[in-house]
């Protein structure tokens, strides 16, 4: 049974989806703590942006968990999942707007950043995101449910953001070119908006 635990005997009544989402939520909480500490220590806006994204990931997972529980308790599946999908998409719009505004504000006055701290925190966050995506691939009904695809996009964009922050941290550590942090944040914001638009259009 795709997406179900070996101990599951009744896919129609099990809580396999909820259990896997709880695992994903636990990893996201750990990533949030690591990256928040790294952002504070390094003074990196790009890493702060990644931390905000992780916080929104937590909200998205909680929404998805709530939908899974409500559907299991008898609420209309299609309507409940559509509402959850819309909430997750809304979060994906709020995030890049916040990042872009703050990147613009800092662009004219770049601040010193500790590149190696950016790199370490982002590497740890990226590893966590990769593990989460592997877990989500095992969710029952992932291909059919828009809310699952929206959550996967949350985490995929976070993984890509971690990779970008790692690259930016390397450049900053080697060149001390602080403005890279703001440019990187703007690029991340635009990428997330583009992916969100594609998700919405694909859902129509």
Q: Is residue 85 part of a domain?
A: yes
pLDDT, tens digit (0-9, with 9 covering 90-100), for 33-75: 999 999 899 888 888 877 877 877 777 777 777 777 777 777 7
CA 112, 117, 123, 128 torsion-angle sign:
negative
Per-residue pLDDT, averaged over 8-28, amounts to 67
Q: Is residue 116 part of a domain?
A: yes
CA 108, 111, 115, 117 torsion-angle sign:
negative
Q: Is residue 5 part of a domain?
A: no
Domain interval for residue 53: 16-203
CA neighbor of 188 nearest in space, from 98, 60, 86: 98
CATH, residue 83: 1.20.1510.10
Answer whether 53's CB lies under 8 Å from 177's CB: no
Answer whether 165's CB lies under 8 Å from 118's CB: yes
How many other CB atoms are found less than 10 A from the CB of residue 104? 13
Residue pointed to by tokens 């890279």: 180
Phi/psi at 62 (nearest 5 deg)?
-60, -40
Question: What Cα–Cα distance (Å) separates residue 40 from each residue in 43, 167, 169, 187?
Answer: 5, 19, 14, 21
Q: Is residue 6 part of a domain?
A: no
pLDDT value of position 181: 86
pLDDT, tens digit (0-9, with 9 covering 90-100), for 138-176: 765 544 455 667 777 777 877 888 888 898 899 988 988
Q: Is residue 32 part of a domain?
A: yes
Residue pointed to by tokens 């929404």: 63
pLDDT, tens digit (0-9, with 9 covering 90-100), for 103-128: 888 777 777 888 899 999 999 999 99
Give how many domains the chain has, as a whole number. 1
Q: Is residue 10 part of a domain?
A: no
Q: Is residue 31 part of a domain?
A: yes
Phi/psi at 114 (nearest 5 deg)?
-95, 100
Distance (Å, whole) CA 37 – CA 88 = 26
pLDDT value of position 204: 45
Q: Is residue 3 part of a domain?
A: no
Q: How confident is the model at residue 5 (pLDDT cuts 50, 70, 90)?
A: very low
Answer whether 17's CB lies under 8 Å from 140's CB: yes
Q: What is the pTM of this model?
A: 0.71
Q: Where are the alpha helices (DSSP H) in the chain?
A: 16-42, 45-72, 77-107, 115-136, 146-175, 179-203
Burial class (CB in 10 A: 0-12, 13-18, 19+), 43: middle
């Amino acid at each position: 049974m795709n997406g179900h635990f070996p101990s599951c005997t009744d896919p129609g009544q099990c809580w396999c989806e909820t259990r896997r989402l709880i695992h994903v939520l636990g990893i996201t909480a750990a990533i949030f703590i690591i990256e928040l500490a790294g952002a504070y220590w390094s003074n990196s806006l790009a890493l702060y942006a990644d931390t905000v994204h992780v916080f929104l990931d937590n909200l998205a997972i909680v929404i998805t968990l709530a939908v899974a529980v409500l559907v299991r308790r008898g609420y209309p599946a299609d309507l409940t999942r559509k509402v959850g999908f819309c909430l997750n998409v809304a979060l994906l719009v709020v995030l890049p707007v916040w990042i872009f505004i703050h990147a613009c504000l800092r662009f004219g006055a770049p601040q010193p950043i500790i590149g190696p701290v950016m790199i370490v925190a982002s590497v740890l966050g990226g590893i966590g995101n990769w593990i989460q995506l592997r877990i989500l691939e095992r969710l029952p009904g992932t291909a059919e449910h828009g809310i699952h695809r929206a959550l996967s996009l949350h985490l995929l964009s976070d993984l890509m953001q971690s990779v970008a922050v790692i690259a930016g941290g390397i450049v900053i550590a080697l060149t001390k070119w602080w403005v890279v942090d703001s440019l990187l944040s703007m690029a991340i914001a635009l990428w997330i908006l583009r992916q969100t638009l594609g998700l919405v259009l694909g859902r129509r």
